[in-house]
């Protein structure tokens, strides 16, 4: 069939190069189709991420405003707020045995909140510590009070 070894080698080489080119072209076409299929989902995920960032920023403004308004409140009100906060944290961290907690850490110690809204986290932590000290002080005064 082939008159020389060079002719065989040339045709074999041509077949290998042609096959490689065809595979590469098919790979590129498949890659482009995959990207075209995934791109809308990726864009939607980016939009959702931006929307969540805006929502969290708005929530932080609301939280910071509420906390700033509570600064002027009597200590008993802040103690009540801290008590509600602690109960809600316990409830959300213990969502059930089969379900993971709705939050991963006490909010004012959460690394994500500390990285983005450290003012809010520090204020809540400070109030929490003050409320605990006030509650302990009230408990000591109740324990030391003379019984009738």
**pLDDT tens-digit map of 49-62:** 989 888 887 887 88
Q: Which two tokens stand for residue 119?
A: 């003012």
Whose tokens are 């609301």? That residue is 62
pLDDT tens-digit readout, 37-83: 899 999 999 999 989 888 887 887 888 788 777 878 887 787 788 88
Q: What is the DSSP letter of 101?
A: -
pLDDT tens-digit readout, 17-26: 777 777 676 6
Handedness of CA 110, 102, 67, 64 (dihedral sign): positive
Residue 38: CB atoms within 10 Å: 10
CA 85 to chain centre: 20
Q: Is the pLDDT of residue 87 over 80?
A: yes
Residues 6+ apart with CB under 8 A from 17: none
* Spans of all domains in the chain: 1-55, 73-148
């Amino acid at each position: 069939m082939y008159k020389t070894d060079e002719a065989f080698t040339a045709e074999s080489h041509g077949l290998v190069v042609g096959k490689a080119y065809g595979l590469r072209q098919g790979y590129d076409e498949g890659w482009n189709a995959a990207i075209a299929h995934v791109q809308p989902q990726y864009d939607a995920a980016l939009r959702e991420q931006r929307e969540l960032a805006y929502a969290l920023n708005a929530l932080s403004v609301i939280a910071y405003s509420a906390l700033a308004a509570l600064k002027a409140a009597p200590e008993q009100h802040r103690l009540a707020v801290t008590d509600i906060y602690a109960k809600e944290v316990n409830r959300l961290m213990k969502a059930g045995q089969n379900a993971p907690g709705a939050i991963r850490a006490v909010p004012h110690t959460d690394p994500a909140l500390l990285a983005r809204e450290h003012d809010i986290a520090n204020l809540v932590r400070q109030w929490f510590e003050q409320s605990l000290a006030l509650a302990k002080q009230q408990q000591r005064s109740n324990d030391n009070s003379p019984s009738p």
